[in-house]
Amino acid sequence: MRSLSIPVFSFLLVMLLGVVAPANGSPHSPGPDAMKRKHGDGGGGGDGDDGGSGSGIPTVDGAKNAVCKPWYAIRDAIMGGIYHGRCGDPARAAVRLAFHDAGTFSLALQAAGRPNGGADGSMLVDPNEVLRPDNNGLQNIVSLLKPLPAQFNVSPGDVLHLAGVLGVLACPGGPAIKTYIGRKAPKNIAPDGLLPNTNSPVKVLTDRFADMGFSIRELMALIGAHTAGKQRFVNLARAQSPFDSTVNIWDVRFYSETQSSSVAAGTFRLPSDVNFSHNATTQKDYNRFVGKQDNWGREYADAHEKMSLLGVDKSTLTDCTEILPQSIDLKDLSVSSSNSGKQPTDPVIDPVKLEAAIQKYRSIWL
Ligand code: HEM
């Protein structure tokens, strides 16, 4: 957390942005709906006391569960100290990290009583796991998160999976995902060779996710996380290319652009994502999310929650969703939101409204 002058400065900035009106003269601050929604309808998570700041960020003073109290400061260390309140490279890397930590889980290995992976934080503990080629690009976020478990005397799995949830929320449009605390230290070295390869056939990929416990529908929701992603190692000549044209927001444009017959300028499409969008076994579930922000927000949140609990006994955990900031709702930020005609598949977001919303709802971390 920064000093108290930051929110005051942010407030003044929002006021200033409100004065510099866009061509249509609409106000820039997001409507009240941006703060009201809760998990399950694509909106925010925390419904606790926000200290009266109106920023939608619950404070420890309003904590409901004593177990969750230390997690307000850990939330701030990640959202402020690492993400600076924004959907930048550390936030997107943390979402991928959450998948790479959990995605080594295998029902088949579990049934055979063999060493297994899962959402245990092993990526923060085993110095070799992050060096595997599958995990290229995750070294930086691992080194940023690694000190936190010792610093706050908590488990690496809880830190890593909170970081994944906050990575989604750092991206405007990202839904709140139920957040649990109490994972134990990792038991095994995560098995190698279980993370998906973008060049594998669709059947190989859907089978691998089935072995993690995911349906095709859940997989189609999860790969939407690429909405906020970039590639660095699939095509070195095009490193840093985003997967859609709106990489700093958590929208469904990824689904329509990946399926389109033409490639959006400056973007890079993963072969596996393009295949999912057309394959006979995946296309129906893929299409559920084309142009459907609310559907996707709900289903993504549920699938990500499940991912964050792979191989973990949920009955031993405490629900600390109360610590999460409100989600930033994109509906209130669209340039077309005031038009009465048919809504476009992918509404265009007004950059000035977007920045005003970030200044308002992420103020203490910027
Ligand atoms: C079939 C399944 C998947 C495949 C084949 C796949 C593959 C990839 C590849 C190749 C990259 C680019 C890495 C690089 O070159 O830097 C990437 C990035 C990313 N993936 Fe996936 N992925 C899959 C599923 C997922 C899931 C389930 C999630 C999370 C829920 C996820 C989140 C991300 C994110 C956020 C990035 C961007 C990371 C960044 O920009 O730093 N992916 N993925």
What's the pLDDT score for residue 74? 98
Per-residue pLDDT tens digits for 125-134: 999 999 999 9
What's the pLDDT score for residue 47? 54
The ligand 1 atom at the shortest distance from the C-alpha of residue 141 is: 41
Among 105, 138, 226, which is best to mutate for testing ligand 1, by the most ligand atoms less than 8 A from CB?
A: 226
Q: What structural domains does the chain harbor?
A: 5-193+303-365 (1.10.520.10), 202-297 (1.10.420.10)
Q: Is 174 in the pocket of ligand 1 (CB under 6 A)?
A: no
Is 297:42 a contact under the CB 8 Å cutoff? Answer: yes
Q: Measure the CA–CA gap between 186 and 336, rounded to whole angstroms.
A: 48
Q: Measure the CA–CA gap between 56 and 252, rounded to whole angstroms.
A: 24
What's the pLDDT score for residue 56? 93
- For residue 4, is pLDDT > 90? no
Q: Enter the pTM of the model.
A: 0.89
Distance from the alpha carbon of residue 231 to the mean position of ligand 1, in angstroms: 8
Q: Measure the CA–CA gap between 320 and 63, rounded to whole angstroms.
A: 9
**Percent of the residues in the chain that have a pLDDT greater than 90, as a whole number:** 82
What's the pLDDT score for residue 63? 97
- For residue 275, is pLDDT > 50? yes
pLDDT band at 50 (very low <50, low <70, confident <90, very high): confident
Per-residue pLDDT tens digits for 187-210: 989 999 999 999 999 999 999 999
What's the pLDDT score for residue 345? 86
pLDDT band at 38 (very low <50, low <70, confident <90, very high): very low
What's the pLDDT score for residue 341? 61
How far from 190 is each of 54, 213, 308, CA to CA, in Å?
42, 17, 15
The ligand 1 atom at the shortest distance from the C-alpha of residue 228 is: 35
Per-residue pLDDT tens digits for 135-160: 999 999 999 999 999 999 999 999 99
- For residue 30, is pLDDT > 70? no
- For residue 41, is pLDDT > 60? no
What's the pLDDT score for residue 54? 75
**Percent of the residues in the chain that have a pLDDT greater than 70, as a whole number:** 84
The ligand 1 atom at the shortest distance from the C-alpha of residue 304 is: 30
Q: Identify residue 71 by its one-letter amino acid code.
A: W
What's the pLDDT score for residue 340? 56
Instruction: Give the least confident one: 196-200, 263-267, 298-302, 335-339.
Output: 335-339
Instruction: Give the least confident one: 5-19, 109-123, 350-364.
Output: 5-19
Q: Measure the CA–CA gap between 32 and 12, rounded to whole angstroms.
A: 19
Q: Is 200 in the pocket of ligand 1 (CB under 6 A)?
A: no
Rg (CA), the chain: 20
Encode 182-202: b = buried (16+ Cβ within 10 Å), e = exposed. Answer: bbeebebebeeebbbeeeeeb
Among 86, 92, 97, 99, which is best to mutate for testing ligand 1, by the most ligand atoms less than 8 A from CB?
A: 99
* 281 annotated binding-site participant: no
Q: What is the mean pLDDT of residues 304-330?
A: 97
What's the pLDDT score for residue 283? 98
